[in-house]
Structure formats: C-alpha cells, structure tokens
Amino acid sequence: MNAKSIGITLNGSEIHLKSNSLKELLESLNLSEARFAVEINREIVPKSQIDNYTLNEEDVVEIVIAVGGG
C-alpha cells in the first residue's frame, strides 16, 4: 500500500485512494459476490489480472455491474 493517496476517476467521479490496488478498490465497493466488468483507460481488465493490477494517478476507471431481471 502506498503512503500517499492517488487520484482516479471512478464512473465519472474523481476520488482519492489510499492504495493503488484494483483488488482493494473492488473490495471496498463490496463487489466480491457481484458479476461485473472493469475498464481502465478504455481497456477491459480481464478478471485474471484484477488481483495484481496496479492503478495509476489519473486512471479513468469504469465498473459495470450485471443486473438480473426479465
């Protein structure tokens, strides 16, 4: 975990994080049981890379959650 925070844009809102770990961001959003997709700087992040993905200052992160219904 970094000593200083980083600033990113998450779903259109600027936020500051204490960690640059994508996994920790997703855990803080309580998404462990949800079906979701993550896009960073217009690139999809495969689920296999989420645990080791490092966020950078000014990254643009979009998280889309799948919702059931019909």
CA separation for the pair 59, 67 (Å, rounded): 25
Structural Rg of the chain based on CA atoms: 12
**Which run of H or E residues covers position 28?**
helix 22-28
Half-sphere exposure in the Cβ direction for 46 (13 Å, CA): 2
Q: Which structural domains are found in the chain, ordered by start?
A: 6-65 (3.10.20.30)
Which pLDDT tens digit goes with each residue over 32-65? 778 999 999 999 999 999 999 999 999 999 999 9
- Provide the whole-model pTM: 0.87
At residue 2, the pLDDT reads 43
In the chain, how many H helices and how many E strands? 1, 5
| pLDDT at position 3 over 60 | no
CA separation for the pair 66, 16 (Å, rounded): 25
11-26 mean pLDDT: 96
Q: What percent of the chain has pLDDT over 90?
A: 81
